[in-house]
């Protein structure tokens, strides 16, 4: 069994052989499609190649693959039951943990994917306000349902008709967007920082974050933070907590359970009643194993200061890449938080340099991405990052030789 054989077989029984954000056909040519296992900060593809992993399964793996504390908690719950006629006690325990940890959370609701959570949050906002419109940053990714998918295939214009776009970090643009639908804004949904694919990332301006909060208060709309991608890697309390900005609703997923499928919406007491009115559910939303894994993940991040560990490793990686790029004559941009990094090459509009470099990194045992942000985990040690930097240095050298 190898990657090429599996791709050929998949092409016969899966549309396109693969779909969605994990479709390796969208990356550089050498990227494997199928993987066999993961351990700590490493993954192995089905061809047996080992990689130091800086994608962390596109974000869910925050403590490292197969973290013992998480796996033990999941196994204990699995021995009792997972998908039952109702939730286990673990649902209450997990909700209590979130309410205790997140200052803006008075309650929690659970689902499976980030899209579930963002959609559910907007449903709560609309139920609370009786309004229709949602203000959303241009180009922002909030999931893959028809209202927010980046691809229009299979959707209708009506499904996006209630979205009004603004420019991220521009309070003037946000105010103007609100004015165009005055009296009908149910929510402002915003990511903690600008992390659109194919573009350099952009940290939020504190004045913008505070201005979004003030605008929501003034017009009676809910401020929704989409912390699906950034949650549990910037601040366990919520990614805008360092700015003193607390949302009405927050969507969580990805890193919440170290790879087990779960998402959540947390909200304030003022929105508890509207949340109760929703009919929003799923057959697997209350499965207990993922909830046990989530509780263990969050507690481990809290108890071991996992974010600080990611910050140290991310800073080491960023400094090393800067030194290497300069030595090989490349001008690069490293953007975003060091725990959710990305590197782009100056003037590389067609991504040809990024594609070549990321492909070369793979050959030298480093898995990162040419056009999507990367993710650090608490399993990345100083030694792991140093080893990865050996591979990226060789990749820079090969890329310089290729492009002259």
Q: What percent of the chain has pLDDT over 70?
A: 100
Domain of residue 161, CATH code: 3.40.640.10
User: Given this model, what pLDDT does residue 354 score?
Assistant: 98
- Arithmetic mean of pLDDT, 327-353: 98
Using CA atoms, how far apart are residues 117 and 10, in angstroms rounded to an integer? Answer: 30
Interval 287-296 mean pLDDT: 98
Same domain, 257 and 325: no
- In the chain, what is the straight-line distance between the N-terminal and C-terminal CA atoms, in Å? 38
Gap between the Cα atoms of 380 and 38, Å rounded: 13
Euclidean distance between CA atoms 9 and 200, whole angstroms: 37
Q: Tell me, yes or no, whether 91 and 119 share the same domain.
A: yes
Tell me: do 221 and 294 sit in the same domain: yes
Mean pLDDT of the chain: 98
Closest among 6, 74, 198, 223 to 136, alpha carbons compared:
223
Tokens (6 digits) for 64: 């490292």
Q: State if pTM tops 0.95.
A: yes
Please state the domain count of the chain.
2
| Placement of tokens 């009908």 in the chain | 184
DSSP 203: P
Distance in angstroms (rounded) separating the CA atoms of residues 278 and 267? 14
Residues 83 and 206 in one domain: yes
How far apart, in whole angstroms, are the C-alpha atoms of residue 39 and residue 377? 12
Mean pLDDT of 361-390: 98
pLDDT mean over 224-253: 98
Domain span including residue 286: 68-304
pLDDT one-digit tens code per residue, 185-215: 999 999 999 999 999 999 999 999 999 999 9
81 and 35 in a common domain: no
pLDDT of the residue at 8:
96
pLDDT tops 90 at residue 242: yes
Query: What pLDDT score does 1 carry?
Result: 82
Same domain, 342 and 263: no
Average pLDDT estimate for 220-232: 98
Q: Are 251 and 224 in contact (CB under 8 A)?
A: yes
Q: What percent of the chain has pLDDT over 90?
A: 99
Indicate if 287 and 336 belong to the same structural domain: no
> pLDDT at position 404, please?
87
For residue 33, what is the enclosing H or E element? none
> For 145-168, how does the pLDDT look when each residue is reduced to its tens digit (9 = 90+)?
999 999 999 999 999 999 999 999
Are 219 and 76 part of one and the same domain? Answer: yes
| pLDDT, mean of residues 374-386 | 98
Q: What are the tokens at 106?
A: 């008075």
The pLDDT value given to residue 244: 98
Query: What is the CATH number for 58?
Result: 3.90.1150.10
Q: Using an 8 Å Cβ cutoff, are 113 and 261 in contact?
A: yes
Query: Are 182 and 280 members of one domain?
Result: yes
**Do 253 and 322 lie in a common domain?**
no
What is the mean pLDDT of the segment spanning 379-404? 97
d(CA 238, CA 222): 16
Say how many C-beta atoms besides its own lie within 10 A of residue 370's C-beta: 24
* Confidence category of residue 218, pLDDT binned at 50, 70, 90: very high
Among candidate residues 254, 288, 304, the one where a domain is terminated: 304
Average the pLDDT over 358-366 and give the result.
98
pLDDT, average across residues 90-99? 98
Do 91 and 232 lie in one domain? The reply is: yes
Question: What are residue 89's phi and psi, to 5 degrees?
Answer: -60, -25
- What pLDDT is recorded for position 295? 99
Averaged over 229-258, what is the pLDDT? 98
Q: How confident is residue 243, by pLDDT bands cut at 50, 70 and 90?
A: very high
Asked if 255 and 231 count as a contact pair (C-beta separation under 8 A), the reply is: yes
**Domain boundary pick from 278, 304, 330:** 304
| Residues 42, 74 within the same domain | no
Instruction: Please compute, for residue 392, the number of CA atoms within 13 A of its CA located in the half-sphere on the CB side.
Output: 28
Say if residues 143 and 118 touch (Cβ distance below 8 Å).
yes
Q: Which domain-ending residue is among 240, 272, 304?
A: 304
Kindly report, residue by residue over 53-84, the tens digit of the pLDDT.
Answer: 999 999 999 999 999 999 999 999 999 999 99
Tokens 């040690």: give the residue: 381
């Amino acid at each position: 069994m190898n990657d090429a054989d599996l791709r050929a077989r998949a092409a016969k029984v899966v549309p396109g052989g693969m779909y969605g954000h994990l479709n390796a056909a969208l990356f550089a040519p050498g990227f494997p499609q199928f993987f066999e296992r993961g351990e700590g900060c490493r993954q192995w593809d089905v061809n047996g190649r080992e990689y130091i992993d800086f994608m962390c399964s596109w974000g869910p793996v925050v403590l490292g693959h197969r973290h013992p504390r998480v796996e033990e908690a999941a196994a204990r719950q699995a021995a009792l039951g997972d998908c039952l006629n109702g939730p286990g006690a673990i649902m209450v325990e997990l909700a209590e943990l979130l309410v205790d940890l997140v200052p803006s959370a008075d309650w929690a609701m659970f689902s499976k994917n980030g899209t579930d959570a963002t959609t559910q949050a907007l449903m709560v906002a609309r139920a609370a306000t009786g309004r229709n419109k949602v203000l959303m940053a241009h180009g922002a990714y909030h999931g893959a349902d028809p209202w927010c998918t980046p691809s229009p295939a299979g959707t209708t214009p009506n499904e996006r008709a209630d979205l009004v776009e603004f420019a991220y970090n521009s309070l003037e643009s946000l105010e103007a967007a609100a004015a165009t639908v005055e009296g009908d804004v149910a929510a402002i949904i915003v990511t903690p920082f600008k992390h659109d694919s194919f573009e350099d990332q952009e940290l939020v301006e504190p004045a913008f974050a505070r201005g979004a909060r003030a605008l929501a208060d003034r017009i009676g709309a809910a401020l929704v933070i989409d912390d699906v991608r950034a949650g549990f890697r910037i601040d366990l309390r919520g990614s805008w907590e360092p700015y003193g900005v607390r949302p009405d609703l927050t969507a969580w997923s990805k890193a919440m359970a170290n790879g087990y499928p779960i998402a959540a919406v947390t909200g304030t007491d003022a929105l508890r009643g509207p949340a109760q009115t929703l009919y929003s559910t799923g057959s697997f939303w209350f499965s207990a194993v993922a909830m046990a894994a989530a509780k263990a993940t969050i507690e481990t991040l809290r108890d071991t200061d996992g974010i600080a560990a990611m910050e140290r490793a991310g800073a080491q990686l960023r400094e090393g890449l800067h030194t290497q790029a300069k030595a090989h004559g490349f001008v690069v941009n490293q953007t975003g938080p060091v725990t959710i990094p990305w590197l782009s090459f100056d003037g590389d509009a067609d991504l040809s340099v990024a594609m070549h470099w990321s492909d070369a990194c793979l050959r030298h045992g480093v898995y990162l991405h040419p056009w999507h942000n990367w993710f650090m985990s608490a399993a990345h040690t100083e030694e792991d990052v140093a080893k990865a930097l050996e591979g990226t240095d060789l990749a820079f050298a090969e890329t310089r030789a290729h492009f002259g």
